[in-house]
Amino acid sequence: MIMRFCIALFLSVALSSPAKADRPNIVVILADDQGFGDVSALNPESKISTPNIDRIANEGMIFSDGHSSSSVCTPTRYSILTGRYHWRTHLQRGVLGGFSRPLISRDRLTIASMLKAQGYHTGCFGKWHLGWD
């Protein structure tokens, strides 16, 4: 089952990608529980070797001055996707789990909806914690 999903994902990405990009690719990597100095691109003396992340960082952009007003993942994800302060949601503490009411309303402008309007294909992989729709 997982192998079929991986093959389908690979084929859909490979077949939907243009041969030559007329605009830059955008990849946002959000890592939980990662210290600033853990990645060797940001700290050459890091005890953790991260050659692939280093290559991505060297060929792209690094945003190193982002701050979250919470120590858990849900508020950070909400703020990055919407550009809004997380306290503007119905969630006043903690992390959304299971089948919670979505934090992002259908009509809320997000980075994904803005990119789609410009012709980009968007996707999100990994932990969500923003409620199910």
Taking only Cα atoms into account, the Rg of the chain, rounded to an integer number of angstroms, comes to 17
Residue 63 confidence (pLDDT) above 90: no
CA 82/CA 25 separation, integer angstroms:
20
What pLDDT is stored for residue 18 in this prediction? 56
CA 63/CA 43 separation, integer angstroms:
15
Whether 6 is a known active-site residue: answer no
Q: What is the mean pLDDT of residues 77-86?
A: 87
In terms of Cα–Cα distance, which of 74, 39, 69 is closest to 57? 39
What pLDDT is stored for residue 2 in this prediction? 58
Q: Which residue has the higher pLDDT, 103 or 20?
A: 103
In terms of Cα–Cα distance, which of 129, 12, 2 is closest to 73? 129
What pLDDT is stored for residue 8 in this prediction? 54
Distances (CA, A) of 9 to 6, 16, 17, 42: 5, 11, 12, 31
pLDDT band at 113 (very low <50, low <70, confident <90, very high): very high
Q: Which of 6, 73, 86, 124 is catalytic?
A: 73
What pLDDT is stored for residue 15 in this prediction? 56
CA 95 to chain centre: 17
Backbone angles phi, psi at 12, to 5 degrees: -65, -40
Whether 67 is a known active-site residue: answer no
pLDDT band at 122 (very low <50, low <70, confident <90, very high): very high
- CB–CB of 74/95 below 8 Å? yes
Q: What is the mean pLDDT of residues 29-51?
A: 86
What pLDDT is stored for residue 17 in this prediction? 57
